[in-house]
């Protein structure tokens, strides 16, 4: 590379100096790019504006529906809170019932043991032509 750019006679001056390109050539290409971009935007921007206007009108028409949906969600949240409170109360009541059943189970077993001989005696005393024989209830654990 010797420092010469191209060897064209118009680039080299009479005294061997390199001439600078003219201002028109320097600005010409970027200006041409700007003109092409402006022409593109002139066609595209109206389409974008129309699409945005359609979106705006559609979203505007959805506003009342969204307000109604929001109110419904808040109402359901309130109902769910009430339901959760009622379920909590029910769970407490069921725990109390379970404790009562646990306390009563031994007494029920004692009553079954006391009634079993009476049922057997009744089956022997009762006339044969009466109703079906008395069936003993199943005992837990058998």
In this predicted model, what pLDDT tens digit does every residue of 109-138 receive, in sequence order? 999 899 999 888 888 888 665 555 556 666
Q: Is residue 34 part of a domain?
A: yes
pLDDT at 33: 86
Degrees (nearest 5) of the Cα angle 52, 54, 55?
A: 65
Q: Is residue 10 part of a domain?
A: no
Residues of the chain with pLDDT > 70: what percent? 73
Q: Is residue 140 part of a domain?
A: no
- Whether 60 has a pLDDT exceeding 50, the answer reads yes
Q: What is the mean pLDDT of residues 34-54?
A: 92
Torsion from C-alpha of 73, 76, 81, 82, nearest 10 degrees: 160
Q: Is residue 21 part of a domain?
A: no
Q: Is 18 helix (H, G, I), strand (E, B) or coil?
A: strand
Q: How many domains does the chain have?
A: 1
Q: Is residue 87 part of a domain?
A: yes
Q: Which of 57, 37, 34 minimizes the C-alpha distance to 45?
A: 37
Cα–Cα distance for residue pair 122/128, rounded to 1 Å: 11
Domain membership of residue 74 as a residue range: 26-95
Q: Is residue 41 part of a domain?
A: yes
Q: Is residue 133 part of a domain?
A: no
Q: State the chain's mean pLDDT as an integer.
A: 81
What secondary structure does DSSP assign to 67-133, as a single string?
HHHHHHHHHHHHHHHHHHHHHHHHHHHHHHHHHHHHHHHHHHHHHHHHHHHHHHHHHHHS-TTSSSP
Q: Is residue 30 part of a domain?
A: yes
- Whether 140 has a pLDDT exceeding 80, the answer reads no
- Whether 44 has a pLDDT exceeding 90, the answer reads yes
pLDDT at 73: 95
């Amino acid at each position: 590379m010797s420092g010469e750019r191209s060897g064209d006679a118009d680039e080299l001056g009479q005294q061997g100096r390199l001439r600078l390109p003219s201002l028109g050539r320097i600005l010409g290409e970027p200006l041409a790019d700007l003109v092409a971009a402006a022409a593109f935007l002139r066609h595209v921007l109206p389409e974008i504006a129309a699409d945005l206007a359609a979106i705006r009108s559609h979203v505007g028409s959805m506003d009342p529906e969204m307000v109604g949906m929001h109110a419904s969600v808040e109402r359901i949240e309130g109902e769910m809170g009430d339901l959760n409170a009622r379920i909590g109360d029910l769970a407490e009541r069921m725990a109390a019932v379970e404790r009562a059943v646990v306390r009563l189970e031994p007494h029920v077993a004692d009553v079954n043991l006391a009634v079993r001989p009476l049922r057997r005696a009744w089956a022997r005393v009762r006339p044969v032509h009466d109703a079906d024989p008395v069936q003993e209830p199943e005992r837990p654990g058998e």
